[in-house]
Amino acid sequence: ISLASAELNGAAVKATSAGVLENGALKFKLDWSADGPFRAGPVEITGKARGSGAITGTLAEPRADLLADFDALDVPRLPLEAAHMTLTFMRRPDGSSGLVTLAATSEYGPAVGKAAFRFPQGGVDLSDVAIDAGGLKASGALALRRSTPSSADLKIMLSKGAFLEAGQVTGAVKIIDASGGPRASLNLRAVNAVLPGSRVAISTGQLTADGPLDRLPYAADAKGASSNAAWAFNGKGVISQTRPGYAIAFDGMGRYGSRDLRTLETAVFKIAGRERSARLRLAASDGGEIELDGRLAGDTAQVRAQLRQLGLGLFNEDLTGKIDADLNLAGKGARLDGTLDAKLEDARAKGSDASQGLDGTLKARLADSSLAIDADFTNTGGLKATANLVLPAEASAAPFRVAINRQKPIRGRVFADGEVKPLWDLLVGGERELAGHVRLDGTLGGTLSDIRTRGEASVDDGRFSDGATGLTLRSVILRATLTDNVINVTRATGADGHGGSATGSGRISQDGVSTFKLDLTGFRLIDNDQATASASGQVTLDRDVAGKVRVAGKLLVERADVSARTPTPSGVVPMEVVEVNKPVDLRAAQQAVARQGLGVNLDITLTAPRRIYLRGRGLDVELSLDAHVGGTTNRPVLSGVARVVRGDYDFAGKRFEFDERGVVYLATSPRDIRLSLSATRDDPSLTAVVSIRGTAAKPEITLSSTPTLPNDEVLSNVLFGRSASQLSPLEAAQLASALSSLAGGGGFDVIGNLRTFAGLDRLAVGGGGESGMTISGGKYLTDDVYLELTGGGREGPSAQVEWRVRKNLSIISKLAGQGDGKLAVRWRKDY
């Protein structure tokens, strides 16, 4: 039989075919198209598809193969591209009706899936399921029904990909029919799991459930961290089917930061169609209580929350004090109204004096697309601060939303008189500290994106410090007037506490044009464990094109002392460690903010012809500087170069002189700072060169010589003036320690540890044969004067002073124990 053309039209499917039936064998081609949506139990597939296929086999055992190619498939969280699907209809020995396979690509790599299927009445059964896509691996069987509960026997594993930003979730899900109705069992484990875009990470967690599907008992236990604090909880409850929807009941306890929380009554969360509701009662270990009732149903919304004597430490670990608050929101459709009434008691930074504790009230009213805020704060130290603001709001009950429009007009008034530190700690905080007597009286207008102010501001005996850089300002005096979008600073002075000063005046305009200039004289910009730096010059304070505050200018660094020391002691080899039960890494969970507080854009050029000193780890070098600091005060970006002016490198107790062509390429992170340095030592028998390459975090040190010798021979000649084969046992041990340091950056360096403990620049142990053992210790008294004392040996004790008059000229004076004295002049020249 030859079929020229056949066409089948259905409600959602259209197919055409042509082919031949010969001797019972089917050979037909097939073209098809389908318009979604398609339903199979609770699963719905939408969209359009087209493809080709073939009908083969025999009349007794026909087979249909449908092929489809999609440029893109929009799967939630996992968009697929270049997708190829094969759908095969055939009766298999296990009773299934066919096979389906899918292969595609995604941003997480290849995505593949396959399953066998059959179509019972009212649904579809899937068996031999195997999925590997976007970090999801699943295997097992699944049954979907429209009128009866689905059944399942699945094993799943989630890893980093479309559904997890970090960590892993593993487990099994099983749903079976039983005499009393379907039963379900669930066991899921999470390790260091972070959902995409989440600021909460689960370090360890387990969810188990076993029982009737319509009232499923469960238990949950988890701990982790958020961007603010560590947390943990454990409890149990019941998941109930309410048709439509379900309800979740929970009883348990937990911990957030240093506060314990527990449920006072069973917490209930319901989802039924378009209705969402919650009822929660919590008690905190500090005596505070939290109540929350909320209901979103259709186009209506009702929310009520109460806080009673709740510690502020629950919101910020750096704060202490209590808060009472009542929040009410209600509305329908596009309208949402509400009120907030809050009271603060003794709110202050943890550890600060009780006199700085703030008492105050905060009242807010949301109505008619505006949010009115009235705040009043006082303390026993004499501070009084008030604020009255009216902000444009966008609020609706359906969808439930409350937001501030930054483009619409605002109005308000602010007033503050007294010590500002308590207000700064409460509202800003972070690693920066602001203190001093502030008086501010003004009005606000414009929009939040372009605030206009009018009024006066003054600061007396002000103090500012930045914990990360060590920058400090003392005795700050400021006088300014605010007019529309301009701040006129008539006086601004301050000192750094180390003899440096800063003075300035001028006009700061919010339109980007400013004349405010700050003159720095010997001002210490950095003062921490890693470095100190003082500079002079002029900087300008203005706003960039994006409207953000910017500090720009050129500074001459008068002196900087940078430490090259690391926390690793001398002679200790850093080891790569694999931590067991390592805490969850929150870098993927939070919006990484290295430092809190207000950020200011930076555009500063730094120059220094010399007097940049780098000391530690054998380095004693003076550098020049040509650098630029960009980014923000929260995330500064350093670039530029530092060049060697002069200096020495102490290796194995011997000094090597730096080549003036050496360069350090600067960057923000030590792992990005590139080194290109070399240091030379000239001895009578050879010239040794130490090359330092790599990064500041992981320098690479190599040793070479002229004439060319192995490393052990070079070091032996440099340290002891003779071949390695001629060394005493003590000298051989020193040589081995130096070679270990050269190869691995450390080792069991007894001499190095003793030298560090004694605070010496050089400590050497020699001899040990017929000449006796000698111990020498030396230290640079200044950059150019070196003193060395030697004890023991055949010649007895001696003292030697070397004064380097010029780079290539030294005067050496030596006094021996027998009364012998020597005076020598050393002159060197490189050819």
**Domains of the chain: which residue ranges?**
1-145, 598-719
C-alpha neighbours within 13 Å on the C-beta side of residue 421: 21
The answer for residues whose C-beta is within 8 angstroms of residue 353's C-beta and 6 or more apart is: none
Separation of alpha carbons 395 and 379, rounded Å: 35
Would you state the pLDDT for residue 566? 53
* Spans of the chain, pLDDT less than 70: 36-49, 92-96, 146-149, 510-512, 544-547, 564-599, 617, 651-653, 719-722, 724-759, 761-774, 783, 792-795, 807, 817-819, 828-831
Separation of alpha carbons 493 and 488, rounded Å: 15
The answer for residues whose C-beta is within 8 angstroms of residue 587's C-beta and 6 or more apart is: none
SS3 per-residue string spanning 686-709:
CEEEEEEEEECCCEEEEEEEECCC
Matching residue, tokens 């069987």? 141
Structure tokens at 483: 């007019």
Contact present, 558 and 535 (Cβ < 8 Å): yes
Q: Which residues of 757-772 are buried (b: 16+ CB within 10 A; e: fewer)?
A: eeebbbbbbbbbeeee
Q: Please, what sign has the CA dihedral across residues 643, 648, 651, 655?
A: positive
∠ CA(21), CA(23), CA(27), 5° rounding?
Answer: 30
Structure tokens at 581: 């039960």
- Element counts in the chain: helices (H) and strands (E): 4, 53
Would you state the pLDDT for residue 770? 53
Find the length of the chain.
831
Contact present, 540 and 514 (Cβ < 8 Å): yes
Strand 549-563 to strand 601-616: parallel, antiparallel, or no bridges (unpaired)? parallel
The answer for residues whose C-beta is within 8 angstroms of residue 611's C-beta and 6 or more apart is: 557, 558, 559, 560, 622
Residue 731: its H or E element: helix 729-744
Would you state the pLDDT for residue 336? 94
Separation of alpha carbons 400 and 296, rounded Å: 8
Separation of alpha carbons 216 and 218, rounded Å: 6
The rounded radius of gyration (Å) of the Cα atoms in the chain is 38
Separation of alpha carbons 7 and 16, rounded Å: 4
The answer for residues whose C-beta is within 8 angstroms of residue 668's C-beta and 6 or more apart is: 631, 636, 637, 638
Give bridge partners of residue 768 from the DSSP assignment: none
End-to-end CA distance of the chain: 101
Would you state the pLDDT for residue 460? 94
Would you state the pLDDT for residue 570? 46
Give bridge partners of residue 443 from the DSSP assignment: 413, 454
Contact present, 444 and 452 (Cβ < 8 Å): yes
Contact present, 516 and 489 (Cβ < 8 Å): yes
Separation of alpha carbons 318 and 643, rounded Å: 43
Q: Measuring CA to CA, which residue among 350, 339, 349, 491 is closest to residue 420?
A: 349
Give the phi and the psi of residue 273 in degrees, each rounded to 5.
60, -125
Please name the amino acid found at residue 809.
L
**Beta carbons within 10 angstroms of residue 383's beta carbon:** 21
Separation of alpha carbons 324 and 159, rounded Å: 42
Contact present, 679 and 690 (Cβ < 8 Å): yes
Would you state the pLDDT for residue 736? 66
**Beta carbons within 10 angstroms of residue 608's beta carbon:** 21
Query: What angle do helix axes 750-758 and 729-744 make, rounded to 10 degrees?
Result: 90
Strand 486-495 to strand 472-484: parallel, antiparallel, or no bridges (unpaired)? antiparallel
Matching residue, tokens 């005067």? 811
Separation of alpha carbons 282 and 274, rounded Å: 27
Separation of alpha carbons 655 and 678, rounded Å: 12
Please name the amino acid found at residue 287.
G
Contact present, 415 and 445 (Cβ < 8 Å): no
Query: What angle do helix axes 711-720 and 729-744 make, rounded to 10 degrees?
Result: 130
Would you state the pLDDT for residue 297? 92
Would you state the pLDDT for residue 253? 96
**Beta carbons within 10 angstroms of residue 670's beta carbon:** 13
Would you state the pLDDT for residue 366? 95
Q: Please, what sign has the CA dihedral across residues 309, 313, 319, 325?
A: negative
**Beta carbons within 10 angstroms of residue 807's beta carbon:** 11
